[in-house]
Amino acid sequence: MQATTRRMPPFLHPKHFNRTFIPLNRSFHASSGLRALDLAFDYHENGGKATGAPIVFLHGLFGSKKNNRSMSKALARDLNRPVYAIDLRNHGDSPHDKTHKYGALAEDTENFLRQHNLRESTLIGHSMGAKTVMTVALRSPSSCANIIAVDNAPVDAALASDFPMFVKGMQKVEEAKVKTQKEADKILEPFAKDLPVRQFLLTNLIKAPNESYLKFRIPVSILAHSLDDMADFPFTNPDENRFEKPALFVRGTKSHYVSDETIPIIGRFFPRFELVDVDAGHWVISEKPEEFRRAVVEFLQDKE
């Protein structure tokens, strides 16, 4: 059995809440005054046949809308719903900005929903994208019908040590002003041992305008300084902010981002949540696409 679904009770016993994950001394407000950016996106409509409520798909750190192309097409086909796969700020074809925090990412996403007049949307996000859709749901519950968060939880939790190493490797690649992907891969290898991860990171490597060398299209220095912000979560008090609509949390059982200890906290912020375990690491969608697709389809068909 590759995937296991657990429907969680809406209320969990207070004895589960005595850990120190949720200090109650700070809160987050929607009126943050952040400047929203216009986001690039791909649109998947199954040849014009997809007419249901929209799905908006958000990638993770160092990713782009291209990462979710195959899954977006599959969901548009299986659910008869159009899918917007977006590039978050500082990623893909979207604009760059020195501010890279979840408040800003959520502001951009909400602006995207308004610009395209998307109502009753499902927001799907992986990793950084997962915390972004959680942030949108908690600060603006009316902006979506439900959310699907993939391998992340609404807590402050340190990123895996891999991510700072990835940044160091990408900085080394840029310093070398490489001319081929092969050169870049060789420099990156000590910082990212797994070939699929290097291939994922190198999808961001493009020829610099009017230059003979390759450069990352993502602003590596901005993202390097934002790693601590990506580990944080802007809400800390579920008594002040709660999303009462359906939410699906998909976690990789070989990943540490959604530990058993975080489940009661998820239940407080998202009392109608369901949990699906997939036998995978952090890269759930690429590692086990069929299990992920099936979990999403079952969750959303159940809500229709």
Domain end: 178, 200, 225, which one? 225
Instruction: Count the domains in the chain.
Output: 2
Comparing 1-5, 45-49, 176-180, 231-235, the range with the smallest average pLDDT is 1-5
Residue span of the structural domain in which 193 resides: 162-225
End-to-end C-alpha distance for the chain, whole angstroms: 26
Contact criterion met (CB below 8 Å) for 12 and 267: yes
The answer to whether residues 96 and 122 belong to one domain is yes
Contact criterion met (CB below 8 Å) for 86 and 39: yes
Identify the CA nearest to 219 among candidates 103, 91, 108, 132. 91
The answer to whether residues 76 and 117 belong to one domain is yes
Any idea which residues carry the catalytic annotation?
127, 282
The answer to whether residues 68 and 185 belong to one domain is no
Tell me the average pLDDT across 5-19.
36
Domain end: 194, 225, 256, which one? 225
- Measured from the Cβ of residue 294, the count of other Cβ atoms closer than 10 Å reads 17
- Digit-coded pLDDT (tens) for 18-48: 322 333 233 333 344 568 899 999 999 999 9
The answer to whether residues 213 and 240 belong to one domain is no
The answer to whether residues 19 and 105 belong to one domain is yes
What is the C-alpha separation between 130 and 142, in angstroms, rounded?
A: 18
Which pLDDT value is given to residue 11?
33
The answer to whether residues 59 and 171 belong to one domain is no
60: domain CATH number is: 3.40.50.1820
The answer to whether residues 91 and 203 belong to one domain is no
What is the C-alpha separation between 83 and 43, in angstroms, rounded?
A: 6
The answer to whether residues 45 and 180 belong to one domain is no
Is the pLDDT score of 181 beyond 80? yes
The answer to whether residues 33 and 127 belong to one domain is yes
The answer to whether residues 258 and 290 belong to one domain is yes
Please, what is the angle between helix 69-79 and helix 289-303, to 10°?
A: 40
